[in-house]
Structure 1
């Protein structure tokens, strides 16, 4: 079996995520405790107790990556299984880099803490937001955004999730004005998201510059293949990583295209945390996707991997 390990991005967070894994796996406990000390964040409180910080990017991002790592380490502690490819959705690409050996796991958590701060700072005072469009072809969404930009609006296609689901980013007022345009073009839904950042568009140029400076001394020279959100193909070197991750914040996430490109070389996808990508994958590929979020889901995947199904 050839496996692709996949990792969710921002928006997949939930209070209580990873709690059962933390309580039952030594490596999960160790990485949470180390990350809390290294980042000066009480991750037990952030992940397991109701709080307002989980919705703030500088905390959301390390919390999601840490949860993914805990779920991954629970599998590692339970059985020997190596990925042929790793892939993440937006923020999840950094989780993929950690698991592939491109970054130290603790460094990754600290780095995405900074990433969240950089993104928030870049969007300060810009009335930034994002909107999900359902039921409309990618080309039509792109056309509407292009026409709007020609008339002075700041709107861009940002996330290509699966057929019939695309997220656009930019100025909140400009996005709101386009809601009726998307619906008149045939969209089943055009809904503003509760976000104060505009990811994967030119609004994040300053964040992109700052992130790559912090990434440069941390990224390893070589690592196992990671599929880039920007080009939907794998990369394995520091030089490629610096170029692609600098572009990642200002270019759209080609998640759907990435899965399509690697699907013929993969037998099974394994998501670590959330289960969001499992739902997307059902609309992209006929290959199985397992999502490890707790002990039950871990055991289900292990039964599959050991050939019991």
Structure 2
């Protein structure tokens, strides 16, 4: 029988009210978000449930909010006896995966991503960096374009290799604009500027990465109880030491999502459970590993139906 991976979403999957039905239905879920409130020193749970949306969209709030709700869904799935052979997460989602694997305690993971969000916001002054999704160009030609533009002094890099034909580039406003223009000339189907507040997963995040190291050095990090695929290497990571260094690299390195899913496929995974708000990762995986079974656990109804389905499969 094939293996199962739980995958955890990153920024962009958030919405006001996410997880509301779960928090209402399960006292344990309410307790978890209250623990997050205590660790952060403000009511994250109120922001998740009631907004306002523009405040939830701030990186330093989005990151702990998504992690908290993804962790709640994971905990409840585990309580129902549903287990995974591997974990992976997209960017911020890697922290949710590491919580699931027993690497970080819940409150520490929430605290770490709140700090990560603040550091990412502070790394580059507002308005100086950006990102864009390039559709219909292969990674190597796009990498060449980015290197050519960077050589002119306008920094830009591949940031997210999301699925075949969808790559996000990141860098200075000029770097992204110049690379976007060259990508269109090279036959890109479309270039979509992203509504983000900074050039994430680019070399411009190196100052933030150095400060993130100080944050992680002061948190207990355990070996993984279940193997996790690292964003920056697209390979299995299990020891606390390599996990720490990968999390630092992750801030300024591309998210190698296509290769991560290919690695899981090679390890025998044929079933993916997207654990947490939205269904972004399900859409990407469908384009990477055709024929895989992909389900989402993102509300009370799907928590119960998917748990039942996976229990039957295990029998």
TM-score bracket for the superposition, by shorter chain length? over 0.9
Q: Name the structure 2 match of 1:94.
A: 95
Runs of 4+ in 1 over 6 A off after TM superposition: none
For residues 37-52 of structure 1, the aligned pairs below 5 Å read: 37-51=38-52, 52=54
Answer whether contact 1:220 1:237 (CA < 8 A) is retained: no
Gapped regions of structure 2 (runs ≥ 5): none
Gapped regions of structure 1 (runs ≥ 5): none
- Deviation track 1:214-270 (CA, whole Å, cap 9, x = no partner) reads 112324342221111111111111111122111111111101101001113213111
TM-score (norm 2): 0.93
- Taking the aligned partners of 1:221 and 1:105, their CA distance within structure 2 comes to 13
TM-score (norm 1): 0.95
Give 1:18 shift. Answer: 0.8
Match of 1:240 among 239, 242, 247: 242
Give 1:125 shift. Answer: 5.3
- Deviation track 1:22-49 (CA, whole Å, cap 9, x = no partner) reads 1112221110111112112212321122
Match of 1:275 among 272, 279, 301: 279
Q: Name the structure 2 match of 1:307.
A: 312
Give 1:192 shift. Answer: 1.1
- Taking the aligned partners of 1:113 and 1:281, their CA distance within structure 2 comes to 27
Residue 289 of structure 1 aligns to a residue whose secondary structure is strand
Give 1:166 shift. Answer: 0.5
Residue 178 of structure 1 aligns to a residue whose secondary structure is helix
Answer whether contact 1:219 1:238 (CA < 8 A) is retained: no
**Higher mean C-alpha displacement, 265-274 vs 200-209:** 265-274
For residues 126-165 of structure 1, the aligned pairs below 5 Å read: 127-165=128-166
Residue 238 of structure 2 aligns to a residue whose secondary structure is strand
**Higher mean C-alpha displacement, 140-149 vs 122-131:** 122-131
The alignment of Structure 1 onto Structure 2 pairs a total of residues equal to 308
For residues 203-282 of structure 1, the aligned pairs below 5 Å read: 203-224=204-225, 225-264=227-266, 265-273=268-276, 274-282=278-286
Residue 15 of structure 1 aligns to a residue whose secondary structure is coil
For residues 28-177 of structure 1, the aligned pairs below 5 Å read: 28-51=29-52, 52-77=54-79, 79-124=80-125, 127-177=128-178
Residue 117 of structure 1 aligns to a residue whose secondary structure is helix
Answer whether contact 1:130 1:169 (CA < 8 A) is retained: yes
Q: Name the structure 2 match of 1:293.
A: 298
- Taking the aligned partners of 1:198 and 1:189, their CA distance within structure 2 comes to 20
**Higher mean C-alpha displacement, 298-307 vs 47-56:** 298-307
- Taking the aligned partners of 1:299 and 1:163, their CA distance within structure 2 comes to 32
Give 1:126 shift. Answer: 6.6
